[in-house]
Structure 1
Amino acid sequence: MQKDKRTSLTDGMFLSLMKSSLKGISQVILIENAVTGFIILMAITIFSYPLGIITLSSSIIGTLIGKLGGANENNVNSGLYGYNSVLTGIALTLFLTGPSQWFIALVGAALAAVFSAAMMHFMRNTGIPILTFPFIILTWFMLLASYKLKAFQLSPGLVPQDLSHWTLNISGKVDWLEGSFNGIGQIFFLDSTLAGILLFIGVFWAGWKYGLFSILGNAFALLISFVLGGEHSLIILGLYGYNAILTSIAVSIVFKEDHNRFAPISGIIAACVTVPLTASVATWLLPYGLPALTMPFVLSTWLFLGARKVLPRL
């Protein structure tokens, strides 16, 4: 009888951990839904099963650090200690190479949870969410460590470029459909139509508003980047879309005030702002060979949420 109780308790703890970890995956898109997290995990695993393993492992690590560290139980169960770990684990797996790649990625996932806790403390009185800032800064620092530490071996795809010799290459046709699905896929560094379809399904599962604003944010980003003369190859890859999707959801739905009738409009405007921000951040990082990651999303969302403190109708 005592053994059955212990088994039941262990099973309950395991299921709770897995549910929170799946929510940690869904929280990357600012959604708290275990089913959505599972669908996202399937999309990533179909694209690359090693990436699926690192995604789930990273979320579990971040969630465990929150639980064992004594963090607020609601925050842990909502997946708020998992999403930065997920993104950090995926990014370091993709942008590093060599025998220490997986180990560094998992350590990075653990550090992301600790960094998230620190950022929550620093920003607790601002009313502004930390979003993916811990993931961005931690990933940039760990990638830059590759120039001084041999264990960190940078992927050949990340090459510093001299801006004085930079040329803008606008050529080829734009495949709007492929760009649309790649836009949501790039949130998790995926450039696959099938993965994009599954991710849209996961978002719509959580609620039609999430799905609607993910489509609108992506569509406006595609249009604005094309009109402004963005490189067609980058538009097709979805590199102008993923930050817009996250920003549209954040400003229009997740962090809006109940009485704010203009939140949907300001969310779309904020999504459009991510396009020049993406171009600017990517250019700023060219000499360092670093990816822009989700910094345009963070900057645009902080800008609009901060402005609402003074301009509440925004």
Structure 2
Amino acid sequence: MNGISQVILIENAVTGLFVLAGITFANYQMGIITLACALLGTWIGHACGADRTAVMQGLFGYNAVLTGLALSLNLAGGHRWWLALAGAAASVFITAAMMYVARNSAIPVLTLPYILLTWLLLLSPYHLGFFKISESLVPQDLSRVEFHREGTIQLLDGLIDGIGQVYFQQNIWASILILIGIFWAGWRLGLYAVIGTVVAWVTAYFLETEITFLNLGLYGYNAVLTILAVSAVFGSGHRLTGLIGILAAVFTVPVTAGLSSWLQPYGLPALTMPFVLVTWLVIGAREKFSRI
């Protein structure tokens, strides 16, 4: 369960159970793959002799969970489930390698192993026929992309799903269960998550994004992860920490838009790369600015 909750930077088994319940409620197949990948990642870490504390904290499970979910949703064909499990297993070794490389650095690995592995595997169908990519991931020429601002705003769905989308959930009840799990781990964590999705929604709205993206919560999840990381998990304890977290959450919106445009010709989703980049920037800046 810690491997599931660590996706949102929380080490709490009950939180992981709430998240698993929410995912399973929305789609039982996704619930199964989530649990299987968490088990697989934790077992590999233990079997390969990783530090027991790190294994128990779920640090070898969260990238496996995200990789399994991403591949099962974005690959096509009946064997995508086995590919999802294989990808989840591979992410554990990549996580371990990156943790070793960054061992003397203040910069955390975060979800980078999952991002890089998922991008590589989603690009492989163009040269490897065994892999079949989902029809939803279609490379687009930026010069021909059409912008559609029109639509009816679904405020509550957009705000709540901004939290659920951390686990690829577009279901209000699944997202609510995930939010309850965050509040279970700590009311401040829950408050930060709410602030993150609200700030991202408002920022994206005033920057005139497409209404569809607002309703799906696609600008919220990176902001939620970023504010949790910057203000809570890797917070400096300074009185400006909360404000820095909010500003970082705001910054994820243009970063998400820019990365999405950059990846559009390859048909790749931005995933949690905006969260990783913005969090790294803030942590790096703190090494030079002692008051943030």
TM-score after normalising by structure 1: 0.92
Counterpart of 1:281 in structure 2 is 259
- The answer as to whether partners of 2:3 and 2:62 remain within 8 angstroms in 1 is yes
Whether 1:69 aligns to 2:52 is no
Query: Using the alignment, how far apart are the partners of 1:115 and 1:245 within structure 2?
Result: 25
Indicate the SS of the match to 2:78: coil
CA distance in 2, matches of 1:146, 1:100: 13
RMSD of aligned C-alpha atoms?
0.8
Deviation at 1:167, TM superposition (A): 2.1
Q: Is the 8 A contact 1:246 1:297 kept in 2?
A: yes
Alignment partner for residue 228 of structure 1, among 207, 217, 226?
A: 207
Deviation per residue, 1:40-69 (Å, 9 max, x gap)? 001000111111010010011111111111
Per-residue deviation, 1:173: 2.4
Among 265, 268, 271, which residue is 1:290 paired with?
268
Corresponding residue number in structure 2 for 1:304: 282
User: Are the aligned partners of 2:223 and 2:252 in contact in 1 as well (CA < 8 Å)?
Assistant: yes
SS in 1 for 2:196: helix
| Pairwise CA distance, 1:185 | 1.0
Kept in 1: contact 2:200–2:250 (CA 8 A) = yes
Pairing 1:43-54 to 2, within 5 Å after superposition: 43-54=22-33
Aligned to 2:165: 186
Partner of 2:228: 249
Cα distance in 1 for residues equivalent to 2:116 and 2:217:
22
Matched, 1:122 2:101: yes
1:196 aligns with 2:175: yes
Where does residue 162 of structure 1 map in the other structure?
141
Task: Tell me if the contact between 1:262 and 1:313 (Cα under 8 Å) persists in the aligned partners.
Answer: yes
Which of 1 and 2 has higher RCO (CA within 8 Å, sep 6+)?
2
**Runs of 4+ that moved beyond 3 A:** none
Q: Count how many residue pairs are aligned between Structure 1 and Structure 2.
A: 292
Q: Is 1:269 the equivalent of 2:236?
A: no
CA deviation profile, 1:68-93 (whole Å, cap 9, x unmatched):
11111111100000000000000000
Any conservation in 1 of the 2:74–2:134 contact (CA below 8 Å)? Answer: yes
CA distance in 1, matches of 2:6, 2:124: 28
Q: Does 1:132 align with 2:111?
A: yes
Larger radius of gyration: 1
The match for 2:75 is 96
Which residue is equivalent to 1:6? Answer: none
What is the identity, as a one-letter code, of the residue corresponding to 2:175? G
Q: Percent identity?
A: 51
Q: Kindly provide the amino acid, as one letter, of the partner of residue 159 in structure 2.
A: S
Question: Unpaired runs of 5+ in structure 2?
Answer: none
Is this contact kept in 2: 1:28–1:84, CA < 8 A? Answer: yes
State the alpha-carbon separation in 2 of the partners of residues 197 and 59 from structure 1: 21
Structure 1: 5+ residue runs without aligned partners?
Answer: 1-21
Q: Which residue of 1 aligns with 2:196?
A: 217
- 3-state SS of the aligned residue for 2:270? coil
CA distance in 1 between partners of 2:53 and 2:285 (Å):
28
Query: Following the alignment from structure 1 to structure 2, what is the Cα–Cα distance between the partners of residues 29 and 120?
Result: 18
TM-score, structure 2 as length reference: 0.99
Q: Any idea what the Cα deviations from partners look like across 1:164-208, whole Å, max 9, x if unmatched?
A: 111211011221111011101111111011111111101000000
Contact 2:160 2:197 in 1 (8 A): no
Partner SS for 1:297: helix
Contact 1:100 1:151 in 2 (8 A): no
